[in-house]
């Protein structure tokens, strides 16, 4: 049982290495599938609409599994969930690589998503036991750095692999990485306290229905599904969610951490996270259409124009994480989100014939703002919770990110539908909405200055 203040430096480096490998593999599994989707659809003789489930199945499995697995981590230990999640992810990656039909690939992607959720759900909770309390921000920033690098390099990595190998290799390459990470994890990850609470299977089922139906509904908005189907999915999700929340209110350690939302610092930080990821996703989805259709640039050039945003986060996130060990997340996050809001407004004002470097510096402003917010906010979410509820806080951190990304995708789809194919107008309107989300997050972040910084470190 790990009861000291973090691991010794050498053991800490081994632990963070194994966690970085696992996070990198799980993040890349989303990006590479997006790039290879047309190739997969062609080789598996699947329609574009059906092939979307290669991406959706993974995202859906991750979303519905995060909170149940985080709850299991509080009960059985974060190391237990992490090891099993990494093992399932590795085995499922092999199954993806061996798939020769769309149904087989989708089923394997579901298993891969569940395994990835095992890693994501307790990753930040483990950081709390790997790093000393005084360096928690640095530990959280390390995770943010890995996510940023993986997100930024995902399209390039996928393109490079596809240039010399088949799409199957995109998944089988996870196998040796996963095995190495698993071997390191067994030896380096600390044991953590266990609550001993019984796993609530009914809450897990209600959680899956709530988030699954809501995700399908929001995804349907972005993909132009029939309005009555979208309305039915959202209404059913809200109905089950209402019952789910009511059940959680009566539990001492709820799967949906309603107890933690009673802590203003936690609730505000989660809300800030959802709004900021919504803003980022809107920009990342709308701008490629704008650059390629309205600006007339090639697909490769679009990648170069988008890359400065995540690339700058790579450098800013570690600095912000270290500062978050000394200064309030409300102050750091508010300043970062103010910069992000300004950056999005600058991007929104771009003319269609803007010069390359005129686009790049504006994207860098957005990246600086987002990177300055991300690490302090993540630290605030995890440190606001008691140590025995670290799993619930960690799971909610990832759930907030996915929720924001889902809302962002739905907003872009809805805006483009309302503007009837006018890409320039649609992108401008979408960016305006994104800037509004960023501005709202900025206000909420500064409001945290009036609240206690955390319940415990």
Q: Residues 206, 105: one domain?
A: no
pLDDT of residue 456: 42
Sign (positive/negative) of CA torsion 294, 300, 303, 308? negative
Query: Do 455 and 276 meet the contact criterion of CB atoms below 8 Å apart?
Result: no
Q: Please tell me whether residues 408 and 261 are part of one structural domain.
A: yes
Q: Highest-confidence range of 28-32, 53-57, 209-213, by mean pLDDT?
A: 209-213
Q: Do 178 and 71 reside in the same domain of the chain?
A: yes
**Which of these, 283, 238, 78, 98, lies nearest to 175 by C-alpha position?**
98
| Predicted local distance difference test score (pLDDT) of residue 420 | 75
Within this chain, do residues 149 and 221 fall inside the same structural domain, yes or no? no
Q: Are residues 171 and 272 in the same domain?
A: no
Lowest mean pLDDT among 28-42, 199-213, 268-282: 28-42
User: pTM here?
Assistant: 0.83
Same domain, yes or no: 222 and 266: no
- Distance between CA atoms of residues 396 and 382, nearest Å: 9
pLDDT tens for residues 264-309? 889 899 999 999 999 988 888 788 777 776 666 666 676 677 778 8
Report the alpha-carbon distance of residue 257 to residue 259 in Å, rounded.
5
pLDDT of 297 reads: 66
Task: Name the domain count of the chain.
Answer: 3
Q: What is the pLDDT of residues 49-69, one digit of tens each?
A: 677 788 788 888 998 999 999
Report how far apart, in Å, the C-alpha atoms of 356 and of each of 204, 304, 359, 423 are: 49, 9, 5, 20
Are 135 and 224 within one domain? no
> Which residues, including other chains, have CB under 8 Å from residue 49's CB and lie 6 or more apart?
none
Cα–Cα distance measured from residue 360 to residue 348, given in angstroms and rounded to the nearest whole number: 13
Which tops the pLDDT comparison, 36 or 226? 226
Q: What are the helix (H) ranges across 165-263?
A: 168-172, 174-188, 201-222, 227-249, 258-261
What pLDDT score was predicted for residue 34? 67
Are the C-beta atoms of residues 53 and 105 closer than 8 Å to each other? Answer: no
Task: Specify the CATH number for the domain of residue 24.
Answer: 1.20.1250.20
Confidence of residue 248 (pLDDT cuts 50, 70, 90): very high
User: Cβ distance 391 to 125 under 8 Å?
Assistant: yes
Q: How much of the chain exceeds pLDDT 70, in percent?
A: 92
Whether residues 296 and 442 share a domain: the answer is: yes
Q: CA 255 to CA 424: how far, in whole Å? A: 43
Provide the residue range defining the domain that includes 157. 1-198
What sign has the CA pseudo-torsion 65, 67, 70, 72?
Answer: negative
Provide CB contacts within 8 A for 411, sequence distance 6+: 278, 282, 430, 433, 434
Rounded to an integer, what distance in angstroms lies between the CA atom of residue 34 and that of residue 32? 5
Distance CA 227, CA 443 (A): 33
Same domain, 279 and 142: no
Q: Are residues 218 and 109 in the same domain?
A: no
CA distance 65 to 7: 29
Summary mean pLDDT of the chain: 85
Q: What pLDDT score was predicted for residue 222? A: 66
Same domain, 206 and 270: no
Q: Could you tell me the two tokens for 385? A: 């919770």
Same structural domain, 150 and 95: yes
Residues in the chain, total = 457
How does pLDDT run across 171-201, given as a tens digit for each residue? 998 899 999 999 998 988 888 888 778 888 9
For residue 79, CA distances in Å to 192, 253, 305, 424 come to 7, 19, 40, 48
* Residue that the structure tokens 């109905």 belong to: 239
Averaged pLDDT for residues 24-31: 78
Q: What is the rounded CA–CA span in Å between residue 245 and residue 262?
A: 13
């Amino acid at each position: 049982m790990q009861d000291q203040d973090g691991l010794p430096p050498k053991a800490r480096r081994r632990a963070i290495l194994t966690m970085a490998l696992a996070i990198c593999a799980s993040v890349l599994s989303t990006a590479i599938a997006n790039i290879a989707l047309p190739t997969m659809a062609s080789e598996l003789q699947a329609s574009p609409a059906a092939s979307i489930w290669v991406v959706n199945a993974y995202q859906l499995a991750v979303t519905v599994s995060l909170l149940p697995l985080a709850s299991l981590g509080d009960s059985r230990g974060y190391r237990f969930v992490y090891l099993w999640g990494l093992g399932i992810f590795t085995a499922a990656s092999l199954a993806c690589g061996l798939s020769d039909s769309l149904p087989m690939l989708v089923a394997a992607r579901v298993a891969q998503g569940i395994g990835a959720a095992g890693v994501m759900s307790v990753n930040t909770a483990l950081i709390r036991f790997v790093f000393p309390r005084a360096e928690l921000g640095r530990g959280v920033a390390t995770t943010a750095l890995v996510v940023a690098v993986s997100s930024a390099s995902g399209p390039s990595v996928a393109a490079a692999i596809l240039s010399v190998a088949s799409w199957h290799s995109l998944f089988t390459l996870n196998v040796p990485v996963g095995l190495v990470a698993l071997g390191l994890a067994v030896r380096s990850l600390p044991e953590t306290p266990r609550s001993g609470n019984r796993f609530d299977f009914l809450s897990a089922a209600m959680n899956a229905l709530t988030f699954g139906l809501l995700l399908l509904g929001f995804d349907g908005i972005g993909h132009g599904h029939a309005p009555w189907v979208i309305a039915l999915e959202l209404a059913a999700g809200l109905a089950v969610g209402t019952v789910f929340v009511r059940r959680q209110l009566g539990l001492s350690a709820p799967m949906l951490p309603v107890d933690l939302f009673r802590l203003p610092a936690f609730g505000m930080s989660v809300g800030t996270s959802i709004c900021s990821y919504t803003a980022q996703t809107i920009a990342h989805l709308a701008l490629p259409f704008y650059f390629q259709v309205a600006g007339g640039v090639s697909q490769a050039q679009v990648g170069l124009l988008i890359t400065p945003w995540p690339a700058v986060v790579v450098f800013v996130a570690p600095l912000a994480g270290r500062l978050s060990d000394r200064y309030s997340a409300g102050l750091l996050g508010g300043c970062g989100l103010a910069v992000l809001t300004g950056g999005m407004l600058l991007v929104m004002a771009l003319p269609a014939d803007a010069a390359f470097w005129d686009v790049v510096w504006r994207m860098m402003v957005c990246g600086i703002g987002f990177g300055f917010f991300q690490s302090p906010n993540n630290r605030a979410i995890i440190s606001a919770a008691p140590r025995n509820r670290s799993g619930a806080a960690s799971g909610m951190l990832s759930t907030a990110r996915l929720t924001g990304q889902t809302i962002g995708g739905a907003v872009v789809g809805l805006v483009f539908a309302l503007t009837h194919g006018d890409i320039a107008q649609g992108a401008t309107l979408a960016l305006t909405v994104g800037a509004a989300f960023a501005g709202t997050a900025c206000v909420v972040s500064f409001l945290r200055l009036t609240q206690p910084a955390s319940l415990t470190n």
